[in-house]
């Protein structure tokens, strides 16, 4: 008996199964990336800010015990504590921006990206169409995709970012000469979680182009 030839419906079912499997795999990778980021932040808090606060507390006790007996030493300790407190505040601010940049909502994507670039010591050219207000989930996704590139960039690495709203779809492109494995970053999963598309390709020389597009809901 002859085998029946595959029907178009069979092909559609196979494609649908593949899409579901890819979506599940993408969501799993994204969940793993989020957990890794949380652990990274916890380590930074424990090894950084927490240790700085412990040191400030210890110096505070020393300063309190030497105010009368050695006021010069107490003054010196207070100066050290002030510098440590400033460093702890800067580290806490940096960690807060890794969780969610405080300027993204009130100031817009362009300001948040320029702030991230300044902290990364990376020359950056940003071209955002009117720097308009994008939905929070889209602005956050574009921001963290760009941040992935900036965090992998060595000092002096050039980065160019373009963002456009084209027919109800937010499109962005990141052009850089970063020598890093951007395929290993969670950028693709972030974009595809919002039913968007993502690609990465090599350009002239060591140039890398990362492109993404995300539909605007509603």
Q: What local confidence, expressed as pLDDT, does residue 211 receive?
A: 92
Does residue 79 sit in the same domain as residue 115?
no
Does residue 142 sit in the same domain as residue 204?
yes
Does residue 94 sit in the same domain as residue 114?
no
Read off the DSSP letter of residue 67: T
Does 51 map to a domain?
yes
Does residue 208 sit in the same domain as residue 119?
yes
Q: What local confidence, expressed as pLDDT, does residue 1 receive?
A: 46
Label residues 185-201 b or e (16+ Cβ within 10 Å = b): bbbbbbbbbbebebeee
Does residue 112 sit in the same domain as residue 18?
no
Residue 145's CB: how many other CB atoms inside 10 A?
23
Does residue 132 sit in the same domain as residue 192?
yes
Domain boundary among 43, 74, 99: 99
Does residue 111 sit in the same domain as residue 210?
yes
Does 1 map to a domain?
no
Beta pairing, strands 159-166 & 169-176: antiparallel
Does residue 15 sit in the same domain as residue 93?
yes
Q: What local confidence, expressed as pLDDT, does residue 182 receive?
A: 74
Mean pLDDT by 10 residues, the chain (218 residues): 57 76 70 69 80 87 85 87 88 78 78 83 82 80 88 80 88 82 78 87 79 83
Does residue 150 sit in the same domain as residue 75?
no
Label residues 98-116 b or e (16+ Cβ within 10 Å = b): beebebbeeebbbbbbebb
CATH code for position 193: 3.30.565.10
6: exposed, middle or buried (Cβ count in 10 Å: 0-12, 13-18, 19+): exposed
Does 2 map to a domain?
no
Does residue 120 sit in the same domain as residue 202?
yes
Domain boundary among 99, 126, 153: 99
Does 66 map to a domain?
yes
Q: How many domains does the chain have?
A: 2
Instruction: Check: CB of residue 115 under 8 Å from CB of residue 102.
Output: no
Does residue 86 sit in the same domain as residue 173?
no
Does 43 map to a domain?
yes
State the DSSP H helix or E strand holding residue 159, giving kind and residue range, or none if neither.
Answer: strand 159-166
Domain span at residue 65 reads 7-99
Does residue 69 sit in the same domain as residue 26?
yes
Q: What is the pTM of this model?
A: 0.68
Domain boundary among 45, 70, 99: 99
């Amino acid at each position: 008996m002859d085998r029946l030839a595959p029907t178009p419906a069979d092909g559609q079912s196979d494609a649908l199964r593949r899409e579901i499997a890819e979506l599940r795999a993408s969501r799993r990778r994204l969940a793993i990336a989020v957990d890794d980021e949380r652990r990274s932040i916890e380590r930074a808090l424990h090894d950084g800010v927490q240790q700085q606060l412990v040191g400030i507390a210890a110096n505070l006790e020393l300063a309190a015990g030497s105010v009368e007996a050695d006021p010069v030493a107490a003054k010196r300790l207070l100066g050290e504590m002030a510098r440590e407190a400033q460093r702890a505040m800067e580290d806490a601010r940096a960690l807060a921006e890794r969780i969610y940049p405080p300027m993204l909502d009130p100031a817009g994507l362009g300001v948040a990206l320029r702030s991230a670039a300044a902290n990364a010591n990376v020359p950056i050219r940003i071209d955002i169409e009117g720097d308009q207000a994008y939905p929070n989930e889209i602005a956050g996704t574009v921001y963290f995709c760009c941040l992935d590139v900036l965090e992998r960039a060595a000092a002096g690495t050039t980065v160019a970012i373009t963002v456009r709203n084209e027919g109800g779809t937010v499109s962005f492109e990141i052009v850089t000469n970063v020598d890093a494995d951007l395929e290993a970053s969670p950028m693709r999963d972030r974009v595809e979680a919002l039913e968007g598309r993502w690609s990465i390709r090599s350009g002239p020389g060591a140039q890398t182009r990362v492109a993404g597009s995300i539909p605007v809901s509603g």
